[in-house]
Structure 1
């Protein structure tokens, strides 16, 4: 029988502490338990108590995700410290840690923060944009993690683990209903197929109407349908060998990515260019949770993959692990021009990505003076994209170009990049005394990238000459970059010293270096003028220092972890915006410094009551960015410079202060177990776009979520019914901002107040 974890002890975002003899792994306890439990993690490629790992990390259990209704990637920042998810839709999404990694929509670039699914590296952040289905736990590791994870990651790692097949029959069904047409259904079943083989099947479907009103036709945008299925087989003939095969498929058809007008930008010499040109084309602007779009707004995503992980334990207690995987991801958008008149009929980029990975690891036995992990990793990625713009009859008026240059013209570009990455790595820990440990790790990665970027000759429109012809050719003319090649060797290293002051308190200090290879712009941008080499960007290199403490106090009733960090990044990779060609492009932004402090606490002050807190102070600034894009208030001035110096400015998307709190109380009422839950998530002001325009500043905001429910036994299982309210005070907030033509800025709105109910049965 599957007995789900009680909310009172399972909703803690931080890692839990436990008595030394506890073997619980992300499981709950009875409501009358008075100690916190152990969480087992594999961040160092072997199973160990998270409180014994000398690194800044946070673990979210499956019950945490359920109870706080964190079922999307963009929800995780409400529970994880120092995390920001810049989300528009599956392609334009990114995960940043400590302010590093805000580089969405970069088809030719891996993220600074790596995302792993069941030990498989995801080459695109959008590969994680699906409902978090049948999850066992999430591990967030902050700081460079290149020495043990499959790809060099300069900001950190989000490691997602799904539930394994079980040899004891179990299952779950749940259904949720909420406002704005929200319906979510999930089901999973697991059990033995023979004495040596177990299977697991999980499926979900989520449907919501959205929460942005399109005044043009009365439709609601921002919603859609997501659905997926995962199947698994676990072969375990004996204690020395096991193999786990996983296959999954996910799809989405939605209007995600609908952008609302955040600001019309600056007024210069009494003229607001955006409003002026909107008036010239006869557009009616909408604000807040309203848009005015005369064309379709939708995206479709199809993705899936399969992996095989095998583990052998030798007679000498060495463990050999092989992880083989293939994944694919297919994204197609249809975007309006944000206006209710035909300036553009469709604009966007579609992408098709395929990847193959193979990892081999050998882990030595634990318990001796020295233990180690060493291995090899191979990654192949084939990325193809298509850049398209179909202009309407008002394009020239809107863009301020000569009549006939863009009107009714269609432009299509193509880009591809093939990546082969090879790495060898090793990490060892010396147990110098019962209290003192020293860890050293090293990794060498060689990557080769072959790419090509082309653009077809424009079609449509009318024949033009003179200035109109020149503008058409500069913006949309045929282009071929020829073969582009990028080769790099990226070393990573780690030195860490930890000391256990007593059984309850451990301190640690670490130095680490991480690198990730360069990237390729897969849209033409300014390459016809600047040359094909301008499509290539260099490596990103990070040096990090950490000082931290982990503690389990007051008879395992309080867990308190804290750390200080300082990171210097050279060649920071980011996105900039080209106002002339109206496209984003990759660039090395110079050097960035990230420094601050983080803390996490889990408290069990009374039987049945659990309080969780985590927060961070994070100062992230460009130390040098001399050729940055200028904000609209500068770029639109007469005689404006081609670039600006953003040295000393804050990095986009990085809030200086973040705080998350959660409290849960559960008690026994005869055969029923009522519970209540409340959470609070605060984010201070953040820069909204790379250019740091005063018209694109994200205000601070706080979200409050509450829920109440009942649990009880039924047959061989347990039922659970809860009433929940997300964004209880209906805070209007933007999750991310983007540059728009003519000096305006648009953004993606967060979810409004939503009331709903969830019923679940575990058996």
Structure 2
């Protein structure tokens, strides 16, 4: 394959600014608008009820369907580029993670409970991988930053992603959309049909997506192109049984099939490369050459089944409550994640993870009962009181199984390449004294491979009662108090089984036989919240809040030894103050917040160079500020959105943190004072767009869009190794579009990464070889996408 890096000449800053000026300067005088335009009010459900985002005393970002569709986005990671202090990683289905304000689910945490809550259409989901199932036929995404334990429960330590997909409509409608991408070649279909099924009493909506992609990554060892296929279908029904009683049903099926793995060598010694090239001459330590060199089958599949039923009753009167609303939601979800991985990231046939027989299933059943309403002001102080109270119960099961094959001949080759084998590292490759000679397979097939298995099975039962009250003290002042009491009880079993006989590779993998069938964990938690919201000026609110968040402890998923079978629960206390405003006659929405969070026992999942291990960092903290804005300037058709975030997230006390992987094999290192991984100091975005009539016709509109995102440098492994530091990037995406004024059709062209930035998701040590590293890169060339959409 040709070296594509020679073709990647990023746009200079001067040329980029000139392009922006050219796009927006020429038409200013022609479409100058005489009076301010007004931004529509944004409605959110952050407090389990519909209300204006400006009235909610916490930091919220809302991404609309228009922004997502106009930019041709179909991935949560693309969307979160434009949300301050938020990141999303879905390099593989089994390693999906979300981070808010520096806290999140570890990216290597298969089987882990998330640290960021995920809610889709008012239903909580217990794994981050479900987030991808919300990004089709989407209505909006609400990102709630800071702990949301009071109303959303455990696992919301950093915040909540609250997705809303489109509901059935009273009038028949639908759309079909086709997208074609080049360089990263993909064909994508999305569509929906909606309308009444039985008069105006039963409404339905059926939505689907299909994606078939050949990515740029090619495996030269296996002569194999990496591919991905993705299918999903969602059915929503709404039965209006009476003027006060509504029943909603939602069912989802999704499947993705991914062949290959973009994690490839990033740093490698000459010694290692010499050995690896004996197996594949095209092996390179270049994560951006669109070539991997791994010998074993590698895939990461995913199958989702989910359903929910909600009943909403809005009686005219109930126990003296104003506008009462009772909601009952029952849900069930299951995700299977079968996979096979070549985890030595080399062409040497060394270590392979075989497909688990059950697909590592996770299932959850939950029910929530809650009541919203209003009451007269206590003691006649103020203008009233609105509230939400409820109970929540869930049972979840988790099964993580690892089946590992190790080749002893491959282990000998890795020893020549500089690996630590049985705590010994050869100072040189013995075959260097005889150039051109390769080592044959010395160990016969009957005893050449050793097999290892490990597993963890668990069942967790959760129960909680919660309440929140908003006391409207005056027309301008509201005080909020909430509290949640929760219990989590888990039972489980873990075991590890090393190859029979005198294992040669078990010591190198730090694996030992053990069997613990009686794992137990029970925790209780109280998550309070206090907030105050004050209208300082008309359309300018200031607020302050304090809240606690909680994530339960658990059992290490499929550990290779019994050194760390359990990990502790984590807790956070966060203080936040901010301002929300609508300025310039409603033409500018500007929101700002500052925050301070302290976390006890932050859960860290790290790869030590030999095995994955779970740690608790005793003390961690996150301090920072964020702002976002949306502005309609006095130029008809022009809009400008942007965000800026500052974050200082660090380990405050972590004296026994995960060690750097070196030949000395230190057991721990002191990470106190070091930054948290996946937490850039600065990040921001700027998204101008311009809509204009084509040839003076009001029926056909053109659009020009620019999306600029900046992400500062950040570490991409929990051991804060300098070699895992991802440099800062400034990515520019652009788009051109033509559509009808009534949105019945549209054509959009997207160009992504015009600056040809080299960004990545994850950087890890290469197993067993100190000083070698692997990386999961984003495509570093400009890619193009053409979208056609037809509405009916």
TM-score (structure 2 length as normaliser): 0.86
1:731 maps to which residue? 757
Q: Report Cα offsets for 1:131-180 as digits up to 9, x if no partner.
A: 71111111000000011114341100000111111111110111011113
Q: Any conservation in 2 of the 1:523–1:585 contact (CA below 8 Å)?
A: no
CA distance in 2: counterparts of 1:577 and 1:721, whole angstroms: 45
1:689 and 2:717 matched: yes
Deviation at 1:58, TM superposition (A): 0.4
2:388 maps to which residue? 373
Moved more, 88-97 or 739-748: 739-748
CA distance in 2: counterparts of 1:103 and 1:377, whole angstroms: 26
* SS of aligned partner of 2:632: strand
1:564 and 2:570 matched: no
Unaligned runs of 5+ in 2: 1-32, 318-322, 377-382, 423-441
1:344 and 2:385 matched: no
CA distance in 2: counterparts of 1:483 and 1:733, whole angstroms: 44
Q: Pick closer, same or farther for the CA change 1:346–1:535 going to 2, 3 Å.
A: closer
Instruction: Identify the match of residue 214 of structure 1 among 193, 197, 219.
Output: 219
Q: Any conservation in 2 of the 1:71–1:131 contact (CA below 8 Å)?
A: no
1:492 maps to which residue? 527
Q: Pick closer, same or farther for the CA change 1:373–1:331 going to 2, 3 Å.
A: same
Q: Any conservation in 1 of the 2:114–2:155 contact (CA below 8 Å)?
A: no
1:721 and 2:755 matched: no
Q: Pick closer, same or farther for the CA change 1:366–1:755 going to 2, 3 Å.
A: farther
CA distance in 2: counterparts of 1:60 and 1:554, whole angstroms: 22
Within 5 A, what are the aligned runs for 1:264-275? Answer: 264=268, 274=272
CA distance in 2: counterparts of 1:102 and 1:739, whole angstroms: 20
1:147 and 2:177 matched: no
CA distance in 2: counterparts of 1:31 and 1:193, whole angstroms: 46
Within 5 A, what are the aligned runs for 1:299-314? Answer: 299-314=300-315
Unaligned runs of 5+ in 1: 1-29
Q: Pick closer, same or farther for the CA change 1:603–1:366 going to 2, 3 Å.
A: farther
Q: Any conservation in 1 of the 2:615–2:658 contact (CA below 8 Å)?
A: no
Q: Any conservation in 1 of the 2:401–2:456 contact (CA below 8 Å)?
A: yes
Within 5 A, what are the aligned runs for 1:467-482? Answer: 468=504, 471=507, 475-482=510-517
1:198 and 2:203 matched: yes
Q: Pick closer, same or farther for the CA change 1:120–1:407 going to 2, 3 Å.
A: farther
1:386 and 2:401 matched: yes
1:762 and 2:791 matched: yes
Deviation at 1:395, TM superposition (A): 3.4
Instruction: Identify the match of residue 708 of structure 1 among 725, 728, 736.
Output: 736
2:14 maps to which residue? none
CA distance in 2: counterparts of 1:131 and 1:215, whole angstroms: 35
1:24 maps to which residue? none
2:702 maps to which residue? 674
1:323 and 2:329 matched: yes
1:104 and 2:91 matched: no
Q: Report Cα offsets for 1:352-410 as digits up to 9, x if no partner.
A: 11110111110013895111100011111111111121122433222543697994111
Instruction: Identify the match of residue 578 of structure 2 among 548, 552, 555.
Output: 548
1:25 maps to which residue? none
1:636 and 2:639 matched: no
CA distance in 2: counterparts of 1:341 and 1:522, whole angstroms: 27
2:22 maps to which residue? none
* SS of aligned partner of 2:66: helix
Deviation at 1:731, TM superposition (A): 2.0
CA distance in 2: counterparts of 1:668 and 1:32, whole angstroms: 19
1:660 maps to which residue? 685
Q: Any conservation in 1 of the 2:572–2:600 contact (CA below 8 Å)?
A: yes
CA distance in 1: counterparts of 2:538 and 2:545, whole angstroms: 21
Q: Report Cα offsets for 1:66-112 as digits up to 9, x if no partner.
A: 11222112222212110122332111011010010141232443111
1:611 maps to which residue? 640
Deviation at 1:280, TM superposition (A): 8.7
Q: Any conservation in 1 of the 2:181–2:783 contact (CA below 8 Å)?
A: yes
Instruction: Identify the match of residue 495 of structure 2 among 437, 454, 463.
Output: 454
CA distance in 1: counterparts of 2:774 and 2:708, whole angstroms: 27
Deviation at 1:710, TM superposition (A): 0.7
2:370 maps to which residue? 361
2:456 maps to which residue? 415
1:88 and 2:94 matched: no
Q: Any conservation in 2 of the 1:346–1:391 contact (CA below 8 Å)?
A: no
Q: Pick closer, same or farther for the CA change 1:400–1:678 going to 2, 3 Å.
A: same
* SS of aligned partner of 1:63: helix
Q: Any conservation in 2 of the 1:232–1:245 contact (CA below 8 Å)?
A: yes
Q: Any conservation in 2 of the 1:108–1:519 contact (CA below 8 Å)?
A: no
How many residue pairs align between the two structures?
A: 708
Q: Pick closer, same or farther for the CA change 1:439–1:408 going to 2, 3 Å.
A: same
1:401 maps to which residue? 421
CA distance in 2: counterparts of 1:301 and 1:551, whole angstroms: 43
- Give the RMSD, CA atoms, in angstroms: 2.4
Deviation at 1:435, TM superposition (A): 0.6
Deviation at 1:63, TM superposition (A): 1.1
Q: Pick closer, same or farther for the CA change 1:32–1:191 going to 2, 3 Å.
A: farther
CA distance in 2: counterparts of 1:429 and 1:109, whole angstroms: 34
Q: Any conservation in 2 of the 1:429–1:437 contact (CA below 8 Å)?
A: yes
2:292 maps to which residue? 291
Q: Any conservation in 2 of the 1:595–1:618 contact (CA below 8 Å)?
A: yes
CA distance in 2: counterparts of 1:229 and 1:243, whole angstroms: 20
2:338 maps to which residue? 332
CA distance in 1: counterparts of 2:641 and 2:473, whole angstroms: 34
Moved more, 97-106 or 202-211: 97-106
Instruction: Identify the match of residue 518 of structure 2 among 483, 486, 506.
Output: 483
Q: Any conservation in 1 of the 2:592–2:626 contact (CA below 8 Å)?
A: yes
2:43 maps to which residue? 40
1:502 and 2:528 matched: no
Instruction: Identify the match of residue 435 of structure 1 among 476, 492, 498.
Output: 476
Deviation at 1:757, TM superposition (A): 0.8
CA distance in 2: counterparts of 1:567 and 1:745, whole angstroms: 32
Deviation at 1:736, TM superposition (A): 1.9
Q: Pick closer, same or farther for the CA change 1:400–1:564 going to 2, 3 Å.
A: closer
Q: Report Cα offsets for 1:34-92 as digits up to 9, x if no partner.
A: 21111111111111111111110000111111112221122222121101223321110
Q: Pick closer, same or farther for the CA change 1:477–1:235 going to 2, 3 Å.
A: same
Q: Any conservation in 1 of the 2:681–2:713 contact (CA below 8 Å)?
A: yes
Moved more, 621-630 or 390-399: 390-399
TM-score (structure 1 length as normaliser): 0.89
Q: Any conservation in 2 of the 1:284–1:339 contact (CA below 8 Å)?
A: no
2:379 maps to which residue? none
1:6 maps to which residue? none
1:114 maps to which residue? 117
1:69 and 2:78 matched: no
Instruction: Identify the match of residue 177 of structure 1 among 166, 175, 180.
Output: 180
Q: Any conservation in 1 of the 2:238–2:246 contact (CA below 8 Å)?
A: yes
Q: Report Cα offsets for 1:266-298 as digits up to 9, x if no partner.
A: x7xxxx775576479888632222211222221
CA distance in 2: counterparts of 1:565 and 1:295, whole angstroms: 47
Deviation at 1:348, TM superposition (A): 7.2
CA distance in 1: counterparts of 2:223 and 2:280, whole angstroms: 19
CA distance in 1: counterparts of 2:529 and 2:619, whole angstroms: 21
* SS of aligned partner of 2:300: strand
Q: Pick closer, same or farther for the CA change 1:103–1:177 going to 2, 3 Å.
A: same
Deviation at 1:735, TM superposition (A): 1.8
1:11 maps to which residue? none
CA distance in 2: counterparts of 1:348 and 1:457, whole angstroms: 18
Q: Report Cα offsets for 1:645-665 as digits up to 9, x if no partner.
A: 000101011011000110110
Q: Pick closer, same or farther for the CA change 1:31–1:683 going to 2, 3 Å.
A: farther
